[in-house]
């Protein structure tokens, strides 16, 4: 239902009008009044309540994700050299603070998945994947930069916004198009929040989704409450979390209930998991495995199945991983499926030395999987982004030998 008024007057002290619009500030959960229990946020969902607030679910922590250490020939293979991955033998990594924020009359734009409170401040928890907030002006017409380079909300944003009397839960952050981000960013929090939220006004919100995204929501019993929106929207209540953006980069144990539910729902093999698979990225324009045919042929001769998960229906990806005892895979979104593997599954991640993402290692630690690393040598970058635009080769026999050591 479209409303043509804003329910609460915005604080004039927080706004800086310019010819380009209203300059935007930033806020973190620490900038809001703190609830002493999640029930206080639930109570504040009542229509008559009007206080923005935050609740911390877990503090930030440092975690030794390879407790027994990285040991060449045992869980570390390959000729690559990657200081970020091997600087600590136990691969100590940080997990972020996880907090929920409840906002009244909060704006949301599906163009960038940004969340804006009624004082025209951007929620930093929805922006981690963006980096410099001013980049929003290049990707979302709701934003622009003024003559001084300050990020502004378009002057007609609130006048054009649709107003919806609902409790909105953003489905994801800016990583929404990516399979791994969609699974890890936002959805685990929504899965935990939804049973705790009363009433029929709750809606999961975002843009119109692709079929595979709709399949995931349906599997989580969230499809019936999904509300696709376009353009600027102001929701009477909005409940967001710091997991919205880049939770996949530093995953926490809060992802486990969702993955366990999906594996429970779609099932696995009747007996002991026995499948041995290589999760292939296929032909790619970035992070190119130059001798892919030779690598995949060698793995096939060693008895592994070559699978491109993106070609499978979602429920088949769940069932595939639930039936595996060994998973070999290239660093990338396909490894998000590790969430469906049984605890104890052996994982060998094939990672180019210049691509130092550690989220799959962290996921294995959180889910009780046995992570191993094969570091490959990378060739000089061939594009603008040295983290993405490169190629690498792998000695097929060396990789096959690593698989054998992992399974020994």
Q: What is the mean pLDDT of the chain?
A: 91
User: Quick one: average pLDDT of 49-65?
Assistant: 96
Output the pLDDT for position 6. Answer: 30
> SS3 helix, strand, coil % of the chain, rounded to 5?
30, 30, 40
Supply the CATH number for residue 382's domain. 3.40.50
pLDDT at res. 359: 94
Q: What is the dihedral of CA 100, 104, 108, 113, to 10 degrees?
A: -10
Q: What is the mean pLDDT of residues 53-79?
A: 95
Domain boundary among 249, 275, 306: 249
Banded pLDDT at 253 (limits 50, 70, 90): very high
Reported as a single tens digit per residue, the pLDDT across 320-346 is 999 999 999 999 999 999 999 999 999
Are 124 and 55 in the same domain?
A: yes
> How high is the pLDDT of residue 18?
53
Q: Which residue's entry shows tokens 């043509």?
A: 4
Does residue 256 sit within a domain?
Answer: no
Range of the domain at 388: 63-93+267-407
Helix (H, G, I), strand (E, B) or coil at 317: helix
Residues 298, 205, single domain; the answer is no
Do 88 and 117 share a domain, yes or no? no
pLDDT at 199: 79
Task: Provide the pLDDT for residue 283.
Answer: 84
Most confident of 18-22, 92-96, 292-296: 292-296
**What is the DSSP code (8-state) at residue 262?**
H
**Predicted pLDDT at 20:** 57
Question: What element of type H or E holds 168?
Answer: strand 162-170
The answer, yes or no, to whether residue 7 has pLDDT greater than 80, is: no
The pTM score is 0.91
In the predicted structure, residue 15 carries a pLDDT above the cut 50: no
Residues 22 and 74 in one domain: no
Residue 305 CA: distances (Å) to CA of 77, 145, 239, 318:
21, 51, 42, 16
User: Where are the extended beta strands (E) located within 179-295?
Assistant: 202-206, 226-228, 232-241, 275-279, 288-289
pLDDT at 100: 97
Number of domains in the chain: 2
311 domain residue, yes or no: yes
User: Do residue 67 and residue 50 come from a single domain?
Assistant: no
Angle (nearest 5°) at CA 408 between 253 and 365: 10
**What's the average model confidence in pLDDT over 309-320?**
95
């Amino acid at each position: 239902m479209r409303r043509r008024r804003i329910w609460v007057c915005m604080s004039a002290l927080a706004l800086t009008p310019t010819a380009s619009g209203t300059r935007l500030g930033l806020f973190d959960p620490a900038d809001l009044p703190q609830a002493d229990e999640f029930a206080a946020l639930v109570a504040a969902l009542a229509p008559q309540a009007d206080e923005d607030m935050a609740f911390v679910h877990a503090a930030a922590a440092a975690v030794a994700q390879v407790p027994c250490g990285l040991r060449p020939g045992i869980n570390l293979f390959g000729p690559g050299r990657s200081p970020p991955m091997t600087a600590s033998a136990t691969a100590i990594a940080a997990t972020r603070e996880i907090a929920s924020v409840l906002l009244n009359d909060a704006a949301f734009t599906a163009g960038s998945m940004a969340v804006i409170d009624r004082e025209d401040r951007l929620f930093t928890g929805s922006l981690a994947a963006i980096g410099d907030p001013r980049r929003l002006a290049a990707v979302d017409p709701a934003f622009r930069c003024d003559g001084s380079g300050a990020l502004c909300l378009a002057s007609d944003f609130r006048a054009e916004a649709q107003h919806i009397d609902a409790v909105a839960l953003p489905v994801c952050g800016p990583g929404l198009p990516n399979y791994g981000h969609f699974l890890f960013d936002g959805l685990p929090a929504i899965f935990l929040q939804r049973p705790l939220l009363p009433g029929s006004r709750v809606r999961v919100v975002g843009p119109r989704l692709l079929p595979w995204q709709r399949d995931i929501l349906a599997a989580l019993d969230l499809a019936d409450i999904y509300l696709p929106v376009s353009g600027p929207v102001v929701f009477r209540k909005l409940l967001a979390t710091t997991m919205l953006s880049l939770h996949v980069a530093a995953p926490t144990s809060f992802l486990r209930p969702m993955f366990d539910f999906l594996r429970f729902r779609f099932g696995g093999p009747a007996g002991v998991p026995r499948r041995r698979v290589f999760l292939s990225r296929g032909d790619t324009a970035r992070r190119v495995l130059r001798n892919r045919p030779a690598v995949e042929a060698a793995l096939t001769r060693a008895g592994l199945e070559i699978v491109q998960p993106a070609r499978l229906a979602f429920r088949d990806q769940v069932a595939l991983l639930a039936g595996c005892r060994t998973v070999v895979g290239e660093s990338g979104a396909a490894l998000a499926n590790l969430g469906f593997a049984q605890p104890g599954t052996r994982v060998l991640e094939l990672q180019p030395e210049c691509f130092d993402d550690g989220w799959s290692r962290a996921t294995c630690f959180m889910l009780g999987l046995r992570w191993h690393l094969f570091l490959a040598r990378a060739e000089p970058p061939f594009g603008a982004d040295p983290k993405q635009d490169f190629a690498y080769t792998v000695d097929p026999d060396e990789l096959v030998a690593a698989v054998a050591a992992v399974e020994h």
